[in-house]
Structure 1
Amino acid sequence: MLPIAPEGRAYLALLAVLVAVAHLFLGVWAAPTWLLLLGGFFVFRNRGRDTPSRPLAVFSPLDARVTAVDECHDPFLERPALRITLRQNWRGEFNMYSPLECRVQQFFRRKTDNAVDASGHLAVWLKTDEGDDVVVAMQSRSWPHVFNCVAGSGDRLGQSRRCGFLGFGRWVQVYLPPTSRAEVQPGQRVAAATDVMATLVHKKQEAES
């Protein structure tokens, strides 16, 4: 099986048929159509990731650059939060991964004129076994609208498990409990399911430290 995201297999099959038909009618003049097929393989590639074992770590959900790390008000769960803002890497893979081991609680959709504001995103609320709430908000208003999530409410996700496809060049904001410790800074590039963005810190851990 080729390392291709499930969301792209039908598109690539259609492109392959179009390339074959073009060669049938145009011969060598159809050679440029191979660029479309190669572009499709680039967009939908899915090589898999090796994730280090970190029980309380929050991994990056996508290949991206960190644009901001700040404290704010979570508009989805109405609470104080540590927010990490990511800009999707155009040259990276467009697959999305679960940032931690959790269960999907609920999906949210809100609109705003500010494309980078979380309230203009499609968001998913995740909860860990320890009771930590994490919200991943994905900008969904700009073209092209490409998003697919293979998990639904109530589904369990393993740490850094591939859970969908998001493209292209999107803003993503991750809302964490305010006690979380950030391990990235603005300008830093992070790899999905590989680089740790933050660590969840509980009261017992704070007392011990």
Structure 2
Amino acid sequence: MMFPVAPEGRIFVIGTAWLAVITLLFGYTEAGALLVFVAIALLLLFRDFVRPIPPQALGILAPTDGTVQSLDEAVDPFTGKPARRIVIRQRALGEYNLNAPQEATLVRRVWPGKESDEKPDPQLTGQLGLAFETDEGHALSLALDLRRWPRFVRLPVITGSRIGRGKRLGFAGFGGSVTLWVPHTAHVSARPGQLVLAGADLLGELPGQKKASAEAPRS
């Protein structure tokens, strides 16, 4: 089985590996050894291991590998409704992938100054924001801080895409922070300082059915 590498990093890994082989074949041992080292480093940098997803249907999954920095009450930047905000600082050594916190549809995507000229909510300043809606009608919002360098963000998901629980959204860059807004009625079990893994660890759980059921027939 091949070593699992994120799609965004394959060209760098394969290209460097081929350069290493060619360099060694031409007898440049030191340069070839250096390129082999770089190829291995890139392989580890862009690793993307498959992880078991917890069975809880309404469980809120960690969107990235990292440490929970803070939990507080806030307002969802897309819906304007009360929410609970969870900030996660990515681990310095990755993985750097971004995963969906719940099965949902991407209803809005905002990258101020690049993909959109509209003035964003102040909470999204310098960030790429994604708004999701679950089948139960719950809103979850996600934002990547783009103010940290080096910045290498690749999120090919488009508005209208339906994404499964814990499924990969793309590459989230190196060592930044990820903010998740969940409904204020959600139960949040994560605690500041907790280390979490994307798509594998639970941050909490959404409440039950939200959408109003059809009115019962009158007798």
TM-score, with length taken from structure 2: 0.85
1:63-74 correspondence to structure 2 within 5 Å: 63-74=65-76
> Match for residue 141 of structure 1?
147
TM-superposed deviation, 1:202: 4.3
> Match for residue 170 of structure 1?
176
2:40 to 18, 28, 38: 38
Establish whether residue 10 from structure 1 lines up as the match of residue 31 from structure 2. no
Q: Deviations over 1:15-55 (max 9, x none)?
A: 11222343245522221222111111001111111012111
> Match for residue 128 of structure 2?
122
Ranges in structure 2 where 5+ consecutive residues have no aligned partner: 114-122, 211-219
TM-score, with length taken from structure 1: 0.88
Establish whether residue 76 from structure 1 lines up as the match of residue 82 from structure 2. no
State how far apart, in whole Å, the 1-side matches of 2:163 and 2:99 are: 9
TM-superposed deviation, 1:62: 1.0
State how far apart, in whole Å, the 2-side matches of 1:161 and 1:86 are: 18
State how far apart, in whole Å, the 2-side matches of 1:135 and 1:99 are: 10
Return the letter of the residue paired with 2:132.
L
> Match for residue 28 of structure 2?
27
- Tell me the secondary structure at the aligned position of residue 32 of structure 1: helix
C-alpha contact (below 8 Å) 1:179/1:202 kept by paired residues = no
C-alpha contact (below 8 Å) 2:77/2:141 kept by paired residues = no
2:87 to 80, 85, 88: 85
State how far apart, in whole Å, the 1-side matches of 2:83 and 2:44 are: 36
Return the letter of the residue paired with 2:79.
L
State how far apart, in whole Å, the 2-side matches of 1:82 and 1:104 are: 19
RMSD: 1.9
Number of matched residues?
200
Ranges in structure 1 where 5+ consecutive residues have no aligned partner: 112-116, 205-209
TM-superposed deviation, 1:129: 0.1
- Tell me the secondary structure at the aligned position of residue 125 of structure 2: helix
State how far apart, in whole Å, the 2-side matches of 1:90 and 1:144 are: 12
Of structures 1 and 2, the larger Rg is shown by 2
